[in-house]
Amino acid sequence: MTARPLLRMKGITKSFLGVRVLHGVDLDLYPGDLHALVGENGAGKSTLMKVLAGVHRADEGTIELDGAPVSFEHPVRAQRAGVATVFQEFNLLPELTVAGNVHLGREIRRRGRIDVRAMERATGDLLDELGLEGISPRAKVRSLSVAEQQVVEIVKALSQDARIISMDEPTASLADHEVEVLYRLIARLRERDVALLYVSHRLKEIFDLATTITVLKDGHRATTVPSGDIRPAELVRTMVGRPVSQVFPDHLEPRGEHVGEVRLDVRGGGNEQVDGIDLTVHGGEIVGLAGLQGSGRTEIARALFGMDRFTRGQVRVDGRRVDPRSPRRAVRAGVALVSEDRKTQGLALNQSILANGRLALDAVWPLGAHRRSRRLPGIFDSLELVARGGHGQEVRFLSGGNQQKVVLAKWLAADPGVMVLDEPTRGIDVGAKQAVYRLMRELTAEGVAILLISSELPELIGMSDRLVVLDEGRVAGELPGGSDEETVMALATGAPPEEPAGKGHDRPGPRSGPSENGPRSQHEGAAP
Partner 1 sequence: MNHPSLSPSPLAPRSLYSRLGTTGLVYVALVVILAVSAALVSAQGASLFTPANTVDLLARSSLLGFLAIGMTLVILCRSLDLSVGYVAALSTVVAATVMAGEPERMLLGVGAALGVCALVGLANGIVVTKLRVNPFIATLGMGLIIKGYLDTNFQGPAGEIPAAFQLFGYTRFGLLPLSAVVMLVLAAAAVWMLARTRLGHHMYAVGGDAEVARLSGVRVAAPVVTAHVLCSVLAGVAGLLLAARFGTGNALVYDNGYELEAIAAVVLGGTYLLGGRGGVAGTIAGVFILATLDTVFNVLAVDPFVKDVLRGTIVIAAVALYARGQLSRAAVRVRFPSGGRPPPEESPGPPDGGGPSAPEPAVGGTR
C-beta of 189 vs 413, nearer to partner 1? 189
Q: How far is the CB of 145 from partner 1 (least distance, A)?
A: 5
C-beta of 270 vs 416, nearer to partner 1? 270
**Residue 262 interacting with partner 1 (CB under 8 A):** no
Half-sphere exposure of 160 (CA within 13 A, CB side): 24
Residue 361: name the closest of 299, 417, 416 by CA: 416
Number of residues that this document lists for the chain: 528
Neighbours of 264 (CB within 10 A): 26
Q: How far is the CB of 104 from partner 1 (least distance, A)?
A: 4
**Residue 390 interacting with partner 1 (CB under 8 A):** no
Site for partner 1 in 23-82 (CB under 8 A): 75-76, 79-80
Q: How far is the CB of 329 from partner 1 (least distance, A)?
A: 11
User: What contacts 82, CB < 8 A, 6 or more positions away?
Assistant: 65, 160, 161, 162, 163, 164
Q: What is the β-pairing status of strands 83-86 and 164-168?
A: parallel
Site for partner 1 in 163-192 (CB under 8 A): 172-175, 177-178, 180-181
d(CA 450, CA 513): 26
Q: Which stretch binds partner 1 (CB under 8 A): 130-138, 371-379, 410-418, 421-429?
A: 130-138
With contact defined as beta carbons under 8 Å apart, do 39 and 21 qualify?
no
**Residue 111 interacting with partner 1 (CB under 8 A):** no
Site for partner 1 in 469-528 (CB under 8 A): 472-474
**Residue 275 interacting with partner 1 (CB under 8 A):** yes
With contact defined as beta carbons under 8 Å apart, do 94 and 140 qualify?
yes
**Residue 137 interacting with partner 1 (CB under 8 A):** no
Task: Report which DSSP code applies to 82.
Answer: T
**Residue 363 interacting with partner 1 (CB under 8 A):** no
- CA angle in degrees (0–180, nearest 5) for 39-41-47: 80
Q: How far is the CB of 491 from partner 1 (least distance, A)?
A: 17
C-beta of 219 vs 327, nearer to partner 1? 327
Tell me which of 121, 316, 391, 466 binds partner 1, using CB under 8 A. Answer: 316
C-beta of 31 vs 100, nearer to partner 1? 100
**Residue 307 interacting with partner 1 (CB under 8 A):** no
Q: How far is the CB of 131 from partner 1 (least distance, A)?
A: 9
**Residue 20 interacting with partner 1 (CB under 8 A):** no
Backbone angle region of 24, left / alpha / beta, with phi > 0 → left and psi within -120 to 50 → alpha? left
Tell me which of 18, 247, 250, 320 binds partner 1, using CB under 8 A. Answer: 320
Tell me which of 1, 19, 146, 445 binds partner 1, using CB under 8 A. Answer: 146
Number of residues that bind partner 1 (CB under 8 A): 69
Question: How many angstroms separate the first and last alpha carbons of the chain?
Answer: 34
Q: How far is the CB of 92 from partner 1 (least distance, A)?
A: 7
| Alpha helix ranges (H) inside 305-368 | 327-332, 353-364
Q: How far is the CB of 330 from partner 1 (least distance, A)?
A: 13
* Phi and psi at residue 75, to the nearest 5°: -55, -35
Four-residue CA torsion sign, 95, 97, 99, 102: positive
Q: How far is the CB of 105 from partner 1 (least distance, A)?
A: 3
**Residue 366 interacting with partner 1 (CB under 8 A):** no
**Residue 392 interacting with partner 1 (CB under 8 A):** no
d(CA 49, CA 183): 21
Site for partner 1 in 399-438 (CB under 8 A): none
With contact defined as beta carbons under 8 Å apart, do 49 and 168 qualify?
yes
DSSP letters, 125-158, are HHHHHTT-TTS-TTSBGGGS-HHHHHHHHHHHHH
SS3 290: strand
Residues that bind partner 1 (CB under 8 A): 75-76, 79-80, 91-96, 100, 104-107, 109, 112-114, 116, 132-136, 139, 142, 145-149, 151, 172-175, 177-178, 180-181, 267-268, 270-276, 278, 296, 309-316, 319-323, 325, 472-474
